[in-house]
Structure 1
Amino acid sequence: MSGTSYLAVSQWFTAAEQPPHLAAINPWEGVSDVYRDLVMRGGMPDTGFARQLQEGSFFGKNQKEDILAEADAHPLMDELWENKIPEFDQINVPAYVVASYSNTLHTAGTFRAWRRMACEEKWLRIHNSQEWSDYYDEANVEDLRRFLDHYLRGEDNGWEETPRVRYSVLDLEGGDRTGIPAESFPPAEVDSTRFYLEANSRSLTITTPTASAEASYDVAANPNAVSFITRFDEETELVGYPKAHLWVEARGSDDMDLFVLLQKLDAHGTPLQAFTVPNQNARIHDATDHGATILKYKGSDGRLRVSMRHLDEALSAEDVPAHAFDRVEKLQPAQLAEVEIDLLPIGLAFHPGEQLRFVISSRNLLGTMMPGIHEYVGANSGQHVIHTGGENASYLQLPVLK
């Protein structure tokens, strides 16, 4: 089996059934958890693309599932949503998985499936573009042919010598590197490094600030965000899973919808972005100024409804927190809540003098994942406070390649 998007999703589920004549799979980017990836990312009911699927596709004479009604009736993770997660521990056929850092719909699900699949013969390639153009690239077609010829036709073509991981490093300035071999993702040479937020200077530092401080914004104001910056003095590559560990407080509310974004800035402070598609005409610019995130990469993002902060200990790892989404824990007045937010995996290069900006906001920083769909607006009011330093030292954990 081979295919992108829905044709990748179907492969997780089919392989988990272990049909006797299935020889190998090639999922080329696709969600692997409908709740976490499609309708309730971060615990927020962001159903714009689900509505587009339900109302604008899958036409026929038969009935179809009303996933919008299900999202309204089942806001927490329960049996309905559990049944929409493949049994990864039952996937035992050889798998060649293709992923990217830039697809806000598919990236998290593809990496999750690759991590959790039980099969020992599995490969991961992380490209630097968009799945459709990558899928039909002639060199990639031949690469896939080698995989399929080896497992379907029994050809001794050396596929088993292919590096288990081939990742890319983006620099967003025309100098991306692809096909970098490794035995794992993140590579073994990665050191998960904490960059602590410092509210007074709005900086990121590798030493813990001793003094407690606050950075805040009113959700109805402009700006309704705070950010923190660090500058790299030497060549630096981040390859792996970033996460945010924050101490937050809601003033005038009992909940917070938080959106976070990791941006690359050039040496002069200008945000760097890159199209993921070969079509870069005026209409693509219009669509991606705000939204259509699968078409233009602006950085690694994450989100969390703070009342959904409880972690699933069985699914969480040190660098990839996973939330249970099975309970609501509202905030009390003056309560400081400790939260972890997973950001999409990254491969990002910083040249000397270039900067990293970490943004925290009450608004959807990137907009919609697809053009022409409804944009989710955070359910926020009052004031958001980010605590830094002292006993409440918030930090951004980054995968630094040594």
Structure 2
Amino acid sequence: MRRFFDHFLKGEDNGWDQTPRVRYSLLDLEGGDRVNIPADQFPPADVQLTKYYLDGRSHTLGTTAPPDEATAGYTVGANPDVVSFVTRFDQETTLVGYPKAHLWVEAKGHDDMDLFILVQKLDAYGTPLQQFTVPNQGALIQDVTERGASILRYKRSDGRLHISMRHLDEKLSTEAIPAHSFDRVEKLSPGEVVDAEIDLLPVGLTFYPGEQLRLVISGRSLLGTTMPGNREHTPANKGQHIVHTGGERASYLQIPVKPA
């Protein structure tokens, strides 16, 4: 900050104009984080947007769309009230940028649905990995962040969407980041299947061989509130949420993969 002010306010030629425009971090959630990585832009220019297709039969993610249609889902308020899909990486894989979910969905017994999306890292044994963002890791901070205060404990990249507000703003949306217009309400008809794009928070994660990525879809918030003490959103969901996969309704998770 001192160099910034010296350069722009005092006119000092201290090399600030050569400072990279971006510095980002790569977390592995296992003690091997890399921070302050310089780049000219975010995401870095060499990031490749890669689609991982959902398979409703095997509950897996794969880079090839299943040829046959299938469904997976849950009943609102039941246990479990989530559906998830997993892929295992056979080589070191780095994600830097903005994930998004493109889902074909249906609400049975209702004309709308709130969807909450979570992308998390699992170790080779399937254990979800997370990491505190504050130095205090005592009992109280454990309690506060168990379900909520996600700003204090990193668990994922997440996103959410009220499906009746799924209309995209064509001018603002890009292939990487969908932008919703929020200027109309499009309720669902009985039996109607619609596609929706859901943007997720940016990510910087490293996966080692054998580790896994899990995509979770639910009708409730999976993390609680961002800040401590905030009230949780109560979604107006009921009935069943169905995710369609494969064939003409090939739902996918798009992730930003940085080549090794």
**Normalised by the size of structure 1, how large is the TM-score?**
0.64
1:13-47 alpha-carbon deviations (Å, 9 max, x no partner)? xxxxxxxxxxxxxxxxxxxxxxxxxxxxxxxxxxx
Give the deviation of 1:333 after TM superposition.
0.6
Q: What's the counterpart of residue 358 of structure 1?
A: 215
- In structure 2, give the amino acid aligned to 1:389: G
1:247-268 alpha-carbon deviations (Å, 9 max, x no partner)? 0000000000000000000000
What is the rounded CA distance, in whole Å, between the counterparts of 1:148 and 1:219 in structure 2? 54
| 1:369 paired to 2:226 | yes
- Choose the corresponding residue for 2:48, options 165, 186, 191: 191
CA RMSD of aligned residues (A): 0.7
What is the rounded CA distance, in whole Å, between the counterparts of 2:28 and 2:2 in structure 1? 30
What is the rounded CA distance, in whole Å, between the counterparts of 2:9 and 2:174 in structure 1? 35
What is the rounded CA distance, in whole Å, between the counterparts of 1:184 and 1:220 in structure 2? 42
Q: What's the counterpart of residue 291 of structure 1?
A: 148
Give the deviation of 1:370 after TM superposition.
1.3
Matched residue SS, 1:392: coil
- In structure 1, give the amino acid aligned to 2:51: R
What is the rounded CA distance, in whole Å, between the counterparts of 1:172 and 1:347 in structure 2? 11
What is the rounded CA distance, in whole Å, between the counterparts of 1:332 and 1:312 in structure 2? 23
Give the deviation of 1:315 after TM superposition.
1.3
Matched residue SS, 1:284: helix
Aligned counterparts, 1:206-285, within 5 A: 206-285=63-142
Give the deviation of 1:155 after TM superposition.
1.1
| 1:388 paired to 2:253 | no
Aligned counterparts, 1:148-163, within 5 A: 148-163=5-20
1:153-203 alpha-carbon deviations (Å, 9 max, x no partner)? 111110111112111101111111011121111111110000000011000
Give the deviation of 1:302 after TM superposition.
0.1
What is the rounded CA distance, in whole Å, between the counterparts of 1:185 and 1:337 in structure 2? 31
Q: What's the counterpart of residue 258 of structure 2?
A: 401
What is the rounded CA distance, in whole Å, between the counterparts of 2:255 and 2:29 in structure 1? 18
- In structure 2, give the amino acid aligned to 1:258: L
Q: What's the counterpart of residue 347 of structure 1?
A: 204
1:83-126 alpha-carbon deviations (Å, 9 max, x no partner)? xxxxxxxxxxxxxxxxxxxxxxxxxxxxxxxxxxxxxxxxxxxx
**Normalised by the size of structure 2, how large is the TM-score?**
0.98
Aligned counterparts, 1:200-211, within 5 A: 200-211=57-68
- Choose the corresponding residue for 2:26, options 164, 169, 172: 169
Q: What's the counterpart of residue 171 of structure 2?
A: 314
Question: Which structure: greater helix fraction?
Answer: 1
Compare CA radii of gyration and give the structure with the larger one: 1
Unaligned runs of 5+ in 1: 1-143
What is the rounded CA distance, in whole Å, between the counterparts of 2:214 and 2:235 in structure 1? 22
Give the deviation of 1:390 after TM superposition.
0.1
Matched residue SS, 1:391: coil
Matched residue SS, 2:107: strand
What is the rounded CA distance, in whole Å, between the counterparts of 2:140 and 2:3 in structure 1? 38
What is the rounded CA distance, in whole Å, between the counterparts of 1:184 and 1:196 in structure 2? 28
What is the rounded CA distance, in whole Å, between the counterparts of 2:44 and 2:139 in structure 1? 38
1:32-74 alpha-carbon deviations (Å, 9 max, x no partner)? xxxxxxxxxxxxxxxxxxxxxxxxxxxxxxxxxxxxxxxxxxx
- In structure 2, give the amino acid aligned to 1:157: N
What is the rounded CA distance, in whole Å, between the counterparts of 2:5 and 2:62 in structure 1? 47
Question: Which structure: greater strand fraction?
Answer: 2
Identity %: 68
Give the deviation of 1:339 after TM superposition.
0.0
What is the rounded CA distance, in whole Å, between the counterparts of 2:235 and 2:12 in structure 1? 53
What is the rounded CA distance, in whole Å, between the counterparts of 2:37 and 2:149 in structure 1? 28
Aligned residues: 259
Matched residue SS, 2:216: strand
The structure whose RCO (Cα within 8 Å, separation 6+) is larger is 2
Give the deviation of 1:317 after TM superposition.
1.1
1:259-294 alpha-carbon deviations (Å, 9 max, x no partner)? 000000000000000001111111100000000010
Q: What's the counterpart of residue 62 of structure 1?
A: none
Q: What's the counterpart of residue 4 of structure 2?
A: 147
